[in-house]
Amino acid sequence: MILTTYGRSSGFCIDPIEKKPLNHFLPGSAVLSFGTAGCNLACRFCQNWDISKAREFDRLTQSASPEQIARAAVLSGCRSVAFTYNDPVIFAEYAIDVAQACHAQGIKTVAVSAGYICAEPRADLFQHIDAANIDLKAFTESFYKRLCAGALAPVLETLVYLKRETRVWLEITTLLIPGENDSPQEIEALSTWILDNLGCDVPLHFTAFHPDWKLKDRPPTPPQTLKAARKLAISLGLRYVYTGNIYDEIGQTTYCHSCQTPLIGRDWYNLTLWNLDGSGRCKNCGTPCAGVFDGPPGSWGRRRRLVDVANVAAD
């Protein structure tokens, strides 16, 4: 079997790391992001459907070797490379080779994935990944079967594997869809499972849905739904819970779980406040903040810049 998307991408872009979203992994830094085409799930609400549902030749517009990608990341001032836009599970061979080339250049790697993968390829892929955001789409098997043509159990297995058996920095995103997965009962069940199986320090992002692809009969997620979900998850014991795809500085700020001092302020993807010392501890009380911190924060902000990787790497 040959991976026909190897070395070919739907495009390269420099993003803020917070857009992945990763709030506790090298905050403020730039990440070189790319994907290929296709997906192993069939989510009716896909927000990147033009890429994930595309035939390979429709969207694969750029070619780049793993070494070119790593060099472009270095020359562009990126701290990491992200496999995103579609799921790296389906281009794992390419992602692994890129990750190895990146590590050779001191560049970290990020996987943005639905976590729907079997045990053996899961271990092959994630041994080369430094940070991951896993899309936990809902907390019922019926949702996964009806709206994703998949299953919940393998995703939960991936989350447990990443937390307990790897050194991958892990964050989780759940897109809240009105009338589908946004009930207080489901939010409580999801949050409690995370607390019991992954611990209180795994960041959880509740993000807003907008009608797209084949689920256009639902309204956008009201901001108050996201804020209520965040409040509930925090009340159950999760320390780092965020809102996304809405304007909500409070819901996107990181707080010290001990003294409640704001540690990292955010205005969308711009960092507005930094109250961590050089080792990632609260400057007020000295309590560690969970995450991967390396000196002062980056200053990339909310910029998004397209990159011609082949030309950059040739310079």
- Residue 142 CB-half CA count within 13 A: 3
> Does the domain spanning 8-314 belong to CATH 3.20.20.70?
yes
Q: Give 10's pLDDT tier (boundaries 50, 70, 90).
A: confident
Compute the average pLDDT of residues 162-191: 98
Q: What is the distance between the alpha carbons of residues 190 and 90, in angstroms, rounded to a whole number?
A: 26
Strands (E), the chain: 8-9, 12-16, 30-34, 62-63, 80-83, 108-113, 131-135, 169-176, 204-208, 241-244, 254-255, 262-267, 270-274, 305-307
Strands (E), 153-291: 169-176, 204-208, 241-244, 254-255, 262-267, 270-274
pLDDT at position 57 is: 47
What's the angle, vertex CA 225, arms to CA 255 and CA 19, rounded to 5? 55
Rounded mean pLDDT of the chain? 93
Compute the average pLDDT of residues 62-66: 89
pLDDT at position 212 is: 76
What does pTM read for this prediction? 0.95
